[in-house]
Amino acid sequence: VTTARERAEELAADDKRFETIVGLFVSATRPMFDAHARLTAPRGDTAQRTTCATTYLSERAVLKPGESGPCGYSLLEVGEHFRIAGEVELGPLLDLVSAFVDAIEIHYEVFPEASEMPLLPGPPSLGSASDALRAAVKR
C-alpha cells in the first residue's frame, strides 16, 4: 500500500487527469497506511506480539471467543467484509483499486488486447483488471 500510494501521487503530479482518483485512493488507504506504521513499529517481547495477533484475529471474528489461536490447519476465511487493520473493508478497497487500475488502463493501455497477446499455455484470460481482482476475492 505504501508503494502504491507513492506511485499514485507521482502519477497525479505528472498527469493532472488523475488528481481526483489519486486523491480518493490516497485518502481511502490512509487508515491502512497508519495501521502499517503501528503494526511494524518495534514492540516488546514475543508474548506481547502473540497477544496482539490473537487480539487482531479475535476482533475480526476469525477466532472464536476463548480461542488462543488458530487450531492446527484450520482455514482462516477472509471475505469482502474482512476489515484490514480493523478499519478498511477488503471488498470496497478492492473495488477502489480496480477502478484505479481501470482508469490507468483507459489512459495508458497498460494491458494488451487479447488479440495482441502471444499464445502461451496457461489459464484462460480473466478479462479486465477489475474482473481479475473480483476473481481473486472469490477464491
* pLDDT means over runs of 10, the chain (139 residues): 89 92 90 80 54 69 72 70 82 89 86 63 53 58
| DSSP code at position 124 | P
Question: Are the beta carbons of 126 and 135 closer than 8 angstroms?
Answer: yes
User: For residue 19, what is its C-alpha cell?
Assistant: 488528481
pLDDT of residue 46: 46
CB atoms within 10 A of CB 100: 21
Residue 36 to residues 80, 95, 120: CA-CA distances in angstroms? Answer: 20, 21, 38
